[in-house]
Chain A
Amino acid sequence: MNPATHIPWIASYLWLIPLLPFAAAGVSALLPQRCRKTSAGLAIGVIVVSTLLSFCALAESILHGLEPHAGRTWSAMQTHEVWHSLIEFTWFNYGTTSLKLGFVLDPLTAAMATMVSLVSALIFIYSLGYMSRDKNFTRFFTFLSLFAGAMLGLVVTNNLLLFFICWELVGLASYLLIGFWYHRPSAAAAAKKAFIVTKIGDTGFFAGLLWLYHATGTLQFYTPDHTGALEQVTALAGLPGIMGLSLAGTIALLIFCGAVGKSGQWPLHVWLPDAMEGPTPVSALIHAATMVAAGVFLVARTYPLFQASPQVLTLVAWIGAFTAIMAATIAVAQNDIKRILAYSTVSQLGYMVMGLGVGGMAAAMFHLLMHGFFKALLFLGAGSVIHGCHNEQDIFKMGGVKKHMPITFWTYFVGTLALAGIFPLAGFWSKDEVLTAAFRWGGGLHKGPFVLGCLGVFLTAFYMWRQVCLVFLGEYRGGKARAGHKHVGQEEAETHHETAPGVPHESPAVMTVPLIILAVFSAFMGFSGLPEHANFIHHFLNPEHAPHVVNWFVIGTASALAFAGLGAGHLLYGVKPLAPDEPDPLKAKLGKLRDFLRDKWYCDELYEATVVRFVRIAAVVVDLGDRLLDGVTVGLGLLARGVSFFNFKFDEQAINCGFDGGCGSVRVIGRCFAALQDGRVQSYLRLVAVTAAILAFWFFLK
């Protein structure tokens, strides 16, 4: 590693990127409810400044890569070095040790910060339109700013503790925003669920953090003198951990627990679809584009730990692959537009985790960045549709929206193709990278993730095209069946002034312009990661690994499967548009399997039957134990009574009256002791004082 010879100016001002949104959150938390424009303006202005700073950081880190090789092209850039620029400061000293925090500027940070802040900025602007009718508008922007600040803080930090703090703050913001309409029981429950389920993972993360601190004595990722936690991996890899893993592997496993919780990987994925109870911009920002990616980012950040332990990497790969395929199958059978996208998110996150597991860190991060753009686009598009269709979320009650909302349709179309992985949109390149990495992972059983991934590609294309057909093509099926119908997860009426049924309408410009910008990014950003020699993003993010050559087999398979998925979807839903009350054609094709998928593989039920029931059983067992103890007590009591009965007889006959006096004195003593506990504080104080005095005297005299 080359030590940073100079600190670029943007590195010393990196702290501004998270701090500005935090400050905005603080200020708008103090603003009264009616200062809507102020708080929104503040939040948006600040996030735009953060975005500009992030772009500066990106430019700086790109230019830094170019500098020593001036005049050369990217393909010739073979530094094999990861570049860091570090800023350290001491939070406080205690005794002889001090707690150091810091920020790091490296390609990973720059790329992630740019994506997060840009997507956040666009979503903030979009929220202006989407939330315009909500009476808690100010609070909403406060929470959004808090979230953005925490997320950006998590990205730029160079310290696992600060990372964890921001991580929890992100979780808090997510909790607040999912439960934004807290008066709705389902929203409150979803918020609670999200908080608790992710906390399960966070417990592991925290344990890993403590263990890492114990083992290395620092929580800085990198330090100028190369004693950072991530720079001591070789030492850690040599120490024994638990379950036959090395210490590095153990810590990596624990940290991965946090990532599983936050990034919605199996088995902790259950909170993410429920989190769609929040307002749609929140779903787009937090539960699609940025926060859920934090888990992937965490693994990418601590990747040296993972690299030191192949067993953990294998586990990561398999969990990712399994999540990818499971979520994709569930998405096929959902009806709620946001739920489909939610499962799609889980599935795509599975791809990223799989990419990390098979050693393609750059590929996974590339997919993360691209996914951030097109998934935000899709969610915002869905929000626009919901907004236009008067808070309808059931795709079987939509249809033909293309006519009424052309901009939304075309941007959504771009997003769909990008997600499905159609050449030459963003998803094509990034998914191809991940699959290539999976393909090259190994032979035999190690081909498993690749096969599952390919299957996932087919399903992704299928469910996305199903959605497009049902929502945008055909005739509008909403409107008449509305009266008396209870809508699943209906968005809050407060957001919308007109509740009367009618034809959908296009959303205002403040919502469509972000869509267009995101569509442009989704369409063209993929070219930053062209395979073959000019794989810029790969060099940029992970120059330590040699770039791989293009693999035509993978590209061909994936593309063919994607097109097959689109075709299958079109055959089922596109050729003959559905009538208003016609059931899902998939029901006939899949039968019972569809119900299985619709009910999410019965995961919630499984957890209900296992974890929750275990807790109940444990409660019963403890209760039984309690009763047992009670029984013993009662038994002893009976025994004592028996003995005392005998005693009584003995007493009566043998000792009789002489003993009664003794009994009486015992009673008196008992009364005296009972009198001690008279409920008066001062008596207790007297007792304490006298006892202390007596004990002290005894101590001195001894």
Chain B
Amino acid sequence: MDVTFIILSLITVVGAIWAVTLRNLIHGVLSLVLFFFGVAGFFFYLNADFVGWVQILVYVGAVAILAIFAIMLTHNLTAKDEPGFFSLRWLTGMAIAAAVGAVLWFAIKNNAAMLQTAPAGVTSSVADIGRKMMTDWVVPFEVVSLLLTAAMIGAIVIAMEQISHRK
């Protein structure tokens, strides 16, 4: 455990908790951006630079902005009748999350392989990633690109349909 890890974990965990609990949705999205930056920081920390930059480019540059646009377009700046902290709903949610988290914790704790330290000299150069994607992972790569195209067209069609109906 070193200082970088502690700082980054604080950023991510606090960002994530704020993102799911804040009533003000815009604040929620901004904390989510904090969380995204924290995860990107972890990627840099783990020598996966490329993933880190892609994370920032995609999540901060696109997903968060998309969320903000969705919030603006649905006039939902704050969640109005959200139940309070000690409501049954929130307590149930916390219990469930705790249960799942406990299972994962249990699984990790009971695994000796988890206690190893980081081997030195592990890097991921962009050239290597590209080569892997174009050889070993070419089929998933193509599938994902197809999926992305389909999602893009789908999103446009879904959003457009109503405009034509409104006339």
Extra contacts, 18 of them, besides A692-B103, A693-B96, A693-B103 (Cβ < 8 A), are A92-B134, A93-B135, A93-B136, A93-B138, A94-B135, A94-B138, A94-B139, A686-B92, A689-B97, A690-B96, A693-B99, A693-B100, A696-B106, A696-B107, A697-B103, A697-B106, A700-B103, A700-B106
List the B side residues contacting A95 at CB < 8 Å.
136
17 contacts between A and B (CB under 8 A): A92-B134, A93-B138, A94-B135, A94-B136, A686-B92, A689-B96, A689-B99, A690-B99, A692-B100, A692-B103, A693-B100, A693-B102, A697-B103, A697-B106, A700-B103, A700-B106, A700-B107
List the B side residues contacting A700 at CB < 8 Å.
103, 106-107, 110
List the B side residues contacting A692 at CB < 8 Å.
100, 103
Which parts of B75-102 form the interface with A (CB within 8 Å)? 92-93, 96-97, 99-100, 102
Task: For the complex formed, measure the closest distance between the CB of B83 and the CB atoms of chain A, giving whole angstroms.
Answer: 13
Known: A693-B103, A697-B106, A700-B110. A686 touches B135 (CB 8 A): no
Q: Please classify how large the interface on chain A is, using the bins under 10, 10 to 19, 20 to 34, 35 or more.
A: 10 to 19
Distance between Cα atoms of A288 and B139 in the complex (Å): 39
Give A contacts to B, CB under 8 Å: 92-95, 686, 689-690, 692-693, 696-697, 700
Distance between Cα atoms of A94 and B142 in the complex (Å): 11
List the A side residues contacting B92 at CB < 8 Å.
686
List the B side residues contacting A696 at CB < 8 Å.
103, 106-107
List the A side residues contacting B135 at CB < 8 Å.
92-94
> 5 shortest A-B CB distances, which residue pairs?
A693-B99, A696-B103, A92-B138, A93-B135, A693-B103
List the A side residues contacting B103 at CB < 8 Å.
692-693, 696-697, 700
List the A side residues contacting B106 at CB < 8 Å.
696-697, 700
Residue of A nearest to B93 (CB): A686
Distance between Cα atoms of A686 and B94 in the complex (Å): 11
Residue of A nearest to B95 (CB): A690
Residue of B nearest to A694 (CB): B99
List the B side residues contacting A93 at CB < 8 Å.
135-136, 138
Task: For the complex formed, measure the closest distance between the CB of A461 and the CB atoms of chain B, giving whole angstroms.
Answer: 54
List the B side residues contacting A697 at CB < 8 Å.
103, 106
List the B side residues contacting A92 at CB < 8 Å.
134-135, 138
Task: For the complex formed, measure the closest distance between the CB of A695 and the CB atoms of chain B, giving whole angstroms.
Answer: 9
B120-154 toward A: CB 8 Å interface, digit per residue (1/0)?
00000000000000111011000000000000000
Task: For the complex formed, measure the closest distance between the CB of A691 and the CB atoms of chain B, giving whole angstroms.
Answer: 10
List the A side residues contacting B138 at CB < 8 Å.
92-94
Task: For the complex formed, measure the closest distance between the CB of B136 and the CB atoms of chain A, giving whole angstroms.
Answer: 6
Task: For the complex formed, measure the closest distance between the CB of A267 and the CB atoms of chain B, giving whole angstroms.
Answer: 37
Task: For the complex formed, measure the closest distance between the CB of B26 and the CB atoms of chain A, giving whole angstroms.
Answer: 23
List the B side residues contacting A689 at CB < 8 Å.
96-97, 99-100
Task: For the complex formed, measure the closest distance between the CB of B70 and the CB atoms of chain A, giving whole angstroms.
Answer: 17
List the B side residues contacting A94 at CB < 8 Å.
135-136, 138-139
Task: For the complex formed, measure the closest distance between the CB of A20 and the CB atoms of chain B, giving whole angstroms.
Answer: 26
List the A side residues contacting B139 at CB < 8 Å.
94
Residue of B nearest to A695 (CB): B103
Residue of B nearest to A687 (CB): B96
Q: Is the beta-carbon distance between A686 and B110 smaller than 8 angstroms?
A: no
Task: For the complex formed, measure the closest distance between the CB of A678 and the CB atoms of chain B, giving whole angstroms.
Answer: 14
Distance between Cα atoms of A95 and B140 in the complex (Å): 12
Task: For the complex formed, measure the closest distance between the CB of B130 and the CB atoms of chain A, giving whole angstroms.
Answer: 13
Q: Is the beta-carbon distance between B107 and A686 smaller than 8 angstroms?
A: no
List the A side residues contacting B93 at CB < 8 Å.
686
List the B side residues contacting A693 at CB < 8 Å.
96, 99-100, 102-103
Distance between Cα atoms of A696 and B108 in the complex (Å): 13
Task: For the complex formed, measure the closest distance between the CB of B140 and the CB atoms of chain A, giving whole angstroms.
Answer: 9
Distance between Cα atoms of A632 and B94 in the complex (Å): 48
Distance between Cα atoms of A95 and B138 in the complex (Å): 9
Distance between Cα atoms of A580 and B62 in the complex (Å): 74
Distance between Cα atoms of A680 and B35 in the complex (Å): 28
Task: For the complex formed, measure the closest distance between the CB of A93 and the CB atoms of chain B, giving whole angstroms.
Answer: 5
Distance between Cα atoms of A690 and B100 in the complex (Å): 7
List the A side residues contacting B97 at CB < 8 Å.
689
Distance between Cα atoms of A438 and B135 in the complex (Å): 51
Task: For the complex formed, measure the closest distance between the CB of B139 and the CB atoms of chain A, giving whole angstroms.
Answer: 5
Distance between Cα atoms of A693 and B107 in the complex (Å): 11
List the A side residues contacting B96 at CB < 8 Å.
686, 689-690, 693
Distance between Cα atoms of A692 and B97 in the complex (Å): 12
Distance between Cα atoms of A93 and B141 in the complex (Å): 12
